[in-house]
Amino acid sequence: MKTRIVLGIESSCDETAAALVTGDRVILAQRIASQDEAHRPYGGVVPEIAARAHAERLAPLIEATLADAGMTLDQVDAIAATAGPGLIGGVMVGLVTAKALAMASDKPLIAVNHLEGHALSPRLADAALEYPYLLLLVSGGHCQILLVEGVGQFRRLATTIDDALGEAFDKSAKVLGLGYPGGPALERLALEGNAKKVRLPRPLKGSDEPHFSFAGLKSAVLRAKQSGEHSDADIAASFQQAAIDCLVDRLTRALAKVGPINALVVAGGVAANKAIRGALEALAAKHGLPFIAPPLALCTDNAAMIAWAGMERLERGQSDPLDVAARPRWPLDPEAEVVRGAGVKA
Ligand code: AMP
Ligand code: MG
């Protein structure tokens, strides 16, 4: 049988993206329009500006993506779009566009959970990765450890009780005057610093509960900066090391509790961080597990992962009705307890 092709659409935060992905894991074309410039003056994503930018850019972006692949909509087998979680205005723009395309072309619509896009992206990158695997999902809005048992089958083992790790990176970067989004800039600055110079807390390290906490670490970065006693590079390096220590500690706990798994996997925007990747690789090796991280371009928000999650669903005969609703909140594991302070990050 001819391999199938899914058009993926992503618009849940501040990237407008479209991609065409085949059932045998070829990304035929993908385009991403970042809105960093539009949000930079505000130091964070402004929902109304994001929604308007998605509305202006998405249709031409889809056209350009199809043109890049030399294809028309007729040659696509299904249309997949992020239906949540995320900023509702942007999600609506992407989902409504997908519905219109699905209706006009008489193709199935697949409403994808953005987090499932991240969670399954390692399988787009690596055909050998089989379920179940242990996933660290670290992004601007999330910090979770998930047991990925199959499509739509997730057990959340841990989440953050306050800030997401990407948020902690971005806020610490802001304190250090690194601009927005600051995660990548903080990683670069950390290369020039000494991680042992600034004493910073490791919240919940060694704790009996499974979760993460980064708010206290972020506040300690602010105090370290205000003290005037440290170089920015030392603060950046010490912050990054504290974050890594927390990740490794919490994952070590999860690895001790979980049954047999095939790999330790990381996904989400913060997975672009090379120091974090290095630490996780060492942790996986210690437990005799393969370590899998998608290529950097698949870590931050993109539409190829949405197309791939759509493909996994299409291959299992799943699609959604045209009146499927956008979901600003949509946990991967609906059974997981709501954790105090986790807010929309649950
Ligand atoms: P996402 O929410 O998946 O779009 O990921 C965006 C988040 O990842 C933002 O908080 C970024 O600051 C963060 N991020 C991206 N690259 C890096 C990096 N190299 N180190 C740390 N954080 C990063
Ligand atoms: Mg994301």
pLDDT tens for each residue of 230-279: 999 999 999 999 999 999 999 999 999 999 999 999 999 999 999 999 99
Q: In CATH terms, are 5-119+298-314 and 131-293 the same topology?
A: yes
The answer to whether residue 43 scores a pLDDT higher than 70 is yes
Distance 138 CA to ligand 1 centre (A): 8
If one residue of 40, 114, 189, 270 were mutated to test the ligand 1 pocket, choosing by the most ligand atoms within 8 A of its CB, it would be 270
Measuring from each residue's beta carbon to the nearest atom of ligand 1, which residues come in under 6 Å?
Answer: 13, 139-141, 166, 169-170, 181-184, 187, 268-270, 272-273, 300-301
* pTM for the predicted model, two decimal places: 0.92
Distance 335 CA to ligand 1 centre (A): 27
Domain definitions of the chain by residue range: 5-119+298-314, 131-293
Percent of the chain with pLDDT over 90: 87
Q: How confident is the model at residue 72 (pLDDT cuts 50, 70, 90)?
A: very high
User: Counting ligands in written order, which one lies closest to the CA of residue 138?
Assistant: 1
Query: Around 327, how many Cα atoms within 13 Å sit in the side-chain half-sphere?
Result: 16
Mean pLDDT of the region 46-68: 94
Rounded to 10 deg, the angle between the 232-257 and 183-190 helix axes is 110
Ligand 1 nearest atom to the CA of residue 268, by list position: 3
pLDDT (0 to 100) of residue 340 = 64
pLDDT (0 to 100) of residue 346 = 36
Rounded to 10 deg, the angle between the 183-190 and 165-175 helix axes is 70
The answer to whether residue 6 scores a pLDDT higher than 50 is yes
- Cα–Cα separations (whole angstroms), residue 332 to 34, 75, 95, 339: 26, 31, 19, 14
- In CATH, which superfamily holds the domain spanning 5-119+298-314? ATPase, nucleotide binding domain (3.30.420.40)
* Domain with residues 131-293, CATH architecture: 2-Layer Sandwich (3.30)
Q: How confident is the model at residue 45 (pLDDT cuts 50, 70, 90)?
A: confident
